[in-house]
Amino acid sequence: MSKTGTFYGIGVGPGEPGLLPVVAWETLKCCHVIYIPRASSQDASTAKACLPAHSIPDERFKEIEFDMSKDHSVLAERYSHSAKEIARQLRQGLDVAYLTIGDTMTFSTFNYQLQAVREACPEAPWRVFPGVTSYAALAACTGFALGEGKERVQILPCPEDPGALQRAIETNDIVVLMKIGRRLSMVVALLESMNLLREAVFGTRVGTTEAVCLTGIEPLLLNPAYGYLSTMLIRNPSPRPL
């Protein structure tokens, strides 16, 4: 029986070209097929733009268009369809990579793709390379310490309910807030009411030419459009004991 190829998940970082592990890059250059997700609202793949200058032939890249549907049945069907295609390639002995921005396993659509591929081709080996998260990049560019000593740090997708967010902030030293989107104005208003605007830093598209990184975030009150691909780090100097 012929040897199956390996399926690789590769986190390419939050935006800066080349901000990915050397071992992941060396593996990627050897892959026969490289899937690059592209949001239906975007003209080009953000993930591909995160790669360093390279000489990988264009024919190795294969775009997958996606939209952020909240319908789990729609998502399952989409990933099942692409997994069947990937499974055929793996059974032909081809090594296949799937790129994702940020870290491969942190609030990433790659989680769904990996599960679908493992179900479609359980005999194929797989490996996931970690990537740099947007919040790690934001902490680095603003000098924001992500936890000191025994500080409590919570990573949280932005809730719809400001009360839920307030409770998370009140009971942690640091909240890493992701997936903010259209809720940005709500978040800023809440932080203002809690007198924590000066304790937070904000970043969107960190590492790209369109990056915005702010310490002291009052200007965001005028820029709700910044919410897309945004992350916020919030420090509470006096958290409530658990």
Domain covering 7-129 assigned CATH 3.40.50.880 in the classification: no
Hey, do 7-129 and 134-235 end up sharing a CATH topology, with the first three levels equal?
Answer: no
pLDDT at 67 over 70: no
DSSP character at residue 220:
G
Q: What sections of 61-198 are H helices per DSSP?
A: 72-91, 110-120, 134-142, 162-170, 184-193
Contact (CB, 8 A) for 128 and 8:
yes
Q: Residue 65: its pLDDT value, please?
A: 76
Contact (CB, 8 A) for 208 and 16:
yes
Q: Give the pLDDT band (50/70/90) at residue 44.
A: low
Tokens 């009411």 map to which residue? Answer: 193
Q: Residue 41: its pLDDT value, please?
A: 58
Contact (CB, 8 A) for 103 and 171:
no
**Token couple for 198:** 């000066």
CA separation for the pair 177, 166 (Å, rounded) = 12
CA separation for the pair 97, 5 (Å, rounded) = 10
| HSE (side-chain half, CA atoms, 13 Å) at 182 | 1
pLDDT digits (tens, 9 = 90+) for 83-114: 999 999 999 999 999 999 999 999 888 999 99
Q: Looking at per-residue confidence, does 46 or 21 come out higher?
A: 21
**Token couple for 84:** 């069947």
pLDDT digits (tens, 9 = 90+) for 191-219: 999 999 999 999 988 888 888 888 877 76
Pick the CATH number of 134-235 from 3.30.950.10, 3.90.550.10, 1.10.1040.10, 3.90.420.10: 3.30.950.10
pLDDT digits (tens, 9 = 90+) for 135-164: 999 999 999 999 899 999 999 999 999 999
Tell me if residue 40 falls in helix, strand or coil.
coil
Tell me if residue 232 falls in helix, strand or coil.
strand
Please give the C-alpha separations between residue 210 and each of 43, 44, 99, 207, in angstroms, as whole numbers: 15, 15, 21, 8
Residue 13: CB atoms within 10 A of its CB come to 25
pTM above 0.85, yes or no: yes
CA separation for the pair 126, 87 (Å, rounded) = 12
**Token couple for 52:** 């360093």
Rg (CA), the chain: 20
Tell me if residue 124 falls in helix, strand or coil.
coil
> Domain boundaries in the chain?
7-129, 134-235
- In DSSP terms, 153 is beta-bridged to 174
Task: Name, in order, each residue with C-beta under 8 angstroms of 169's C-beta and a sequence gap of 6 or more.
Answer: 175, 194, 196, 234, 236
